[in-house]
């Protein structure tokens, strides 16, 4: 097995301890500059119900389709005469009023897949629905544009497909101090000490040893750099908020990382949706409020773009369990301090003209959003990463 296949197939290669060697570049360039663009990606895992997130409260078709779970106008946060946000999203309304939120409706792709695993793979790899890719779109970004000390970090203990490339992978880390402490283990230090690059460099074992050494170097850099900033912002007591707080710590300390990936799980609301969805949206919104405030405290918000997506939406019609089943097109949030078109980017799709499966018809291919972010925010060739051309949008 050659090294490239080994990197792809090895579970160790994407684990906490064995991350790609490109992160060794961290130790070669420590800078106090923070004036470069960062992308924060947040996945609402399970399939968020976009129709009960941004509600068309004047649409009779909405209430006919959802006689018991349709949200009444009186409880919503009105954006205009047609649409209102879920009551749990008050912090997002504050961002909306300041011009820091763009809401993009009807986001999806042709021939959608309603499997959690497959739909997530499609979003994370930026593939067609009938195309199976082994690399993620952020991983390919690292493969093609890593000449500078760019990196991608996932705030978790394992790495998503989105951050896995053909040659390079991103890094999975929840706690920089714990990662650093782990790399100081006497056994690992002894392994590193006895590594002979000239004997093992072209073999899988050599790759693992070298990656271990690079991990040790990057772990020290991440730990030493990130501990220079300590937040005084009060975050909610939730694991999702911990991810955001660590991300803010990384950004505000000047870590040389371009892309961060976080997630909030639990959105598969087949039964008893109302209370569960209300709680999850509150966790998301309260966490985002603290996160944005933290970035603003160090003037980092203007250089940060936050993209929130879910692998699919829910069916228009409620089911017999007072919930919703897997759908397709959905609503996506873009949060940032430098948005070109804040507010509601496009109208909600028709609720009377549905596709053959009873879903809202998609209007915007999610890869056009990726193309926009890659070209206009990260300033790289989007076609190289997405393997085809997509016309960028105008939200940034």
Tens of pLDDT along the chain (396 residues) come to 555 554 444 444 444 444 444 444 443 333 333 347 999 999 999 999 999 999 999 999 999 999 999 999 999 999 999 999 999 999 999 999 999 999 999 999 999 999 999 999 999 999 999 999 999 999 999 999 864 435 799 999 999 999 999 888 888 898 887 776 776 666 556 655 655 544 555 555 555 555 565 566 667 778 778 888 989 999 999 999 999 999 999 999 998 899 999 999 999 999 999 999 999 999 999 999 999 999 999 999 999 999 999 999 999 999 999 999 999 999 999 999 999 999 999 999 999 999 999 999 999 999 999 999 999 999 999 999 999 999 999 999
Cα separation, 29 vs 204, whole angstroms? 28
* Residue-wise pLDDT tens digits, 269-302: 999 999 999 999 999 999 999 999 999 999 999 9
Radius of gyration (Cα) for the chain, nearest Å?
22
Cα separation, 87 vs 145, whole angstroms? 41
For 137, 154, 171, 246, 291, the CA distances from 251, given in Å and listed in that order, are 22, 13, 15, 9, 11
Count of Cβ atoms closer than 10 Å to residue 241 Cβ: 22
Cβ atoms of 48 and 77 within 8 Å: the answer is no
Residue ranges of domains in the chain: 31-150+227-386
- As given in the structure block, the two tokens for residue 353 are 């003209």
Candidates 3.40.720, 3.30.450, 1.10.3470, 2.60.40; correct CATH number of 31-150+227-386? 3.40.720
CA neighbours closer than 13 Å in the CB half-sphere of residue 98: 14
pTM to 2 decimal places: 0.87
């Amino acid at each position: 097995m050659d090294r490239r296949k080994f990197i792809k197939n090895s579970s160790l290669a994407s684990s906490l301890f064995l991350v790609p060697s490109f992160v060794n570049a961290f130790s070669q360039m420590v800078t106090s500059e923070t004036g470069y663009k960062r992308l924060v990606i947040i996945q609402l895992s399970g399939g968020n119900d976009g129709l009960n997130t941004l509600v068309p409260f004047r649409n009779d078709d909405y209430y006919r389709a959802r006689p018991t779970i349709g949200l009444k106008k009186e409880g919503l946060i009105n954006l205009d005469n047609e649409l209102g946000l879920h009551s749990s999203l008050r912090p997002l309304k504050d961002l909306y009023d300041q011009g820091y939120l763009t809401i993009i409706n009807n986001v999806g792709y042709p021939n959608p897949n309603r499997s959690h695993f497959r739909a997530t793979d499609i979003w994370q790899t930026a593939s067609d629905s009938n195309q199976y890719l082994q690399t993620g779109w952020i991983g390919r970004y690292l493969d093609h544009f890593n000449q500078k000390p760019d990196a991608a970090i996932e705030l978790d203990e394992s790495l998503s497909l989105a951050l896995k490339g053909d040659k390079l992978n991103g890094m999975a880390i929840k706690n920089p101090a714990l990662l650093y402490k782990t790399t100081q283990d006497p056994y690992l230090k002894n392994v590193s000490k006895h590594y002979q690059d000239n004997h093992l460099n072209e073999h899988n074992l050599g790759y693992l040893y070298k990656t271990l050494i690079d991990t040790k170097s990057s772990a020290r850099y991440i730990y030493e750099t990130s501990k220079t900033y300590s937040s005084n912002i009060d975050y909610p007591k939730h694991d999702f908020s911990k991810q955001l707080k660590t991300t803010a710590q990384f950004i505000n300390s000047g870590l040389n990382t371009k892309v961060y990936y976080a997630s909030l799980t639990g959105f598969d609301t087949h039964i008893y949706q109302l209370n569960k969805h209300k709680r999850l949206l509150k966790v998301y919104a309260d966490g985002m409020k603290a996160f944005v405030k933290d970035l603003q405290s160090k003037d980092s918000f203007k250089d940060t773009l936050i993209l929130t997506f879910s692998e699919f939406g829910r069916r228009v019609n409620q089911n017999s369990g007072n919930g919703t089943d897997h759908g397709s097109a959905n609503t996506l949030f873009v949060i940032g301090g430098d948005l070109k078109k804040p507010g509601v980017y496009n109208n909600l799709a028709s609720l009377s003209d549905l596709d053959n499966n009873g879903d809202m018809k998609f209007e915007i291919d999610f890869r056009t959003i990726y193309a926009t972010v890659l070209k206009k925010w990260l300033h790289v060739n989007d076609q190289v990463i997405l393997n085809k051309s997509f016309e960028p949008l105008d939200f940034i």
